[in-house]
Amino acid sequence: MTDTRSMTGKTVLITGGTGGIGKAAAIGLASMGARVGIIGRDRLRAEEAAAAIARESGAPAVDVFVGDMSSQAEVRRLADEVLAAYPRLDVLLNNVGGFWAHRHVTADGLEHTFALNHLAPFLLTNLLLDRLLASAPARIVTVSSGAQSMGTIDFDDLMGEQAYSGSRAYNQSKLANVMFTYELAKRLEGTGVTATALHPGVTSTAFSAEDPAMGLLVKVMRPFMRSPAKGADTAVYLASSADTEGISGKYFADRKVKRSRDSSYDTAITGRLWQVSANLVGL
């Protein structure tokens, strides 16, 4: 990770910043001088994480925003709080996400994986977009996954009501992250605000810990996983590096542009997903 102060004067918001990849990215970006805000569901956990990020990065303080991003009302409230707290926003790191082997429904009646992994960053980004545009050059970085390469957007059963499996829902949501990024980049052309997505690599975090069905698999895999700092490296690179300035509409892994699933380049599908998502979040 770069140890320069290249992010001094910049404000960064990280969703899911209380642990795992988000927390490691927060440490990386705060170490470069950024003012960092993190979002998590639990105030105590978020405040403890903020204190640890400040301690490890040497930042004077890390801001905390508390809310359950699976709820659209909470995302809207969080966006209002962020807009009130931050007169400028240079980087939005959409990192929140998870895996559920069993189908759950959110407060809005939507399937949890799609709601949290895709609709939450979709809504938050749109609500913060004017502030990002006013802060240009600015960057929107979304943590997808290599799982996007196995995803399909099932417009006839987006919420997995007819057939649900954890991997089907997760792969779909991570492909949606990439499609959202490509469509967003197209819409932001010429504005100075960029949108990129990334695969962090298989990383040792609390990922899927809420789902006991995944416990054994994660236990077996853990020795082969990368550290959170390594998992955060490409996100930090896209959020901060001069090398990635102006790059938009691309999917990265290990700091390199990678081709994503063929369907992600189909603008009829990405445009349709955007419209369906906008309807689902009431934009």
Q: Which of 86, 170, 182, 251 is catalytic?
A: 170
Among 28, 33, 40, 166, binds ligand NAP (CB under 6 A): 40
Please report which residue ranges of 156-266 form alpha helices under DSSP H: 166-187, 215-221, 228-240
The answer to whether residue 218 forms part of the interface with ligand NAP (CB under 6 A) is no
Q: Which residues contact 80 (CB under 8 A, 6 or more apart)?
A: none
Torsion angle in degrees (nearest 10) through CA of 83, 85, 91, 93: -80
| Residue 16 C-beta: closest distance to ligand NAP, Å | 3
Q: What is the DSSP string of 12-45?
A: EEEET-SSHHHHHHHHHHHHTT-EEEEEES-HHH
C-alpha 256/C-alpha 259 separation (Å) is 10
Give 112 or 135: the residue with its C-beta nearer to ligand NAP.
112
Among 53, 96, 153, 195, binds ligand NAP (CB under 6 A): 96
Give 172 or 205: the residue with its C-beta nearer to ligand NAP.
205
Closest CA relative to residue 79, chosen from 126, 33, 117, 43: 126
The answer to whether residue 77 forms part of the interface with ligand NAP (CB under 6 A) is no
The answer to whether residue 82 forms part of the interface with ligand NAP (CB under 6 A) is no
Q: Which residues contact 103 (CB under 8 A, 6 or more apart)?
A: 111, 112, 160, 164, 169
Element (H, E) at 102: none
Residue 196 phi, psi (nearest 5): -135, 160
The answer to whether residue 42 forms part of the interface with ligand NAP (CB under 6 A) is yes
The answer to whether residue 20 forms part of the interface with ligand NAP (CB under 6 A) is yes
Residue 104: HSE in the Cβ half-sphere, 13 Å Cα cutoff: 15
Q: How long, in residues, is the chain?
A: 283
The answer to whether residue 124 forms part of the interface with ligand NAP (CB under 6 A) is no
Q: Which amino acid is at 123?
A: L
The answer to whether residue 97 forms part of the interface with ligand NAP (CB under 6 A) is yes
- 237 an active-site residue? no
* Token output for 204: 């040792």
| Residue 172 C-beta: closest distance to ligand NAP, Å | 12
The answer to whether residue 41 forms part of the interface with ligand NAP (CB under 6 A) is yes
Q: Which of residues 104-123 bind ligand NAP (CB under 6 A)?
A: 116
Give 19 or 37: the residue with its C-beta nearer to ligand NAP.
19
Give 42 or 245: the residue with its C-beta nearer to ligand NAP.
42
Binding region for ligand NAP (CB under 6 A) out of 52-60, 180-188, 196-204, 238-246: 196-204
Size of the site for ligand NAP (CB under 6 A): 29
Closest CA relative to residue 203, chosen from 220, 224, 175, 217: 224
| Residue 206 C-beta: closest distance to ligand NAP, Å | 4
| Residue 198 C-beta: closest distance to ligand NAP, Å | 9
Element (H, E) at 61: none
* Token output for 97: 């996400």
The answer to whether residue 16 forms part of the interface with ligand NAP (CB under 6 A) is yes
| Residue 47 C-beta: closest distance to ligand NAP, Å | 10
Using CB under 6 A, list all residues that contact ligand NAP.
Answer: 16-22, 39-42, 45, 68-70, 95-98, 116, 143, 145, 199-200, 202-203, 205-207
Catalytic residues: 170
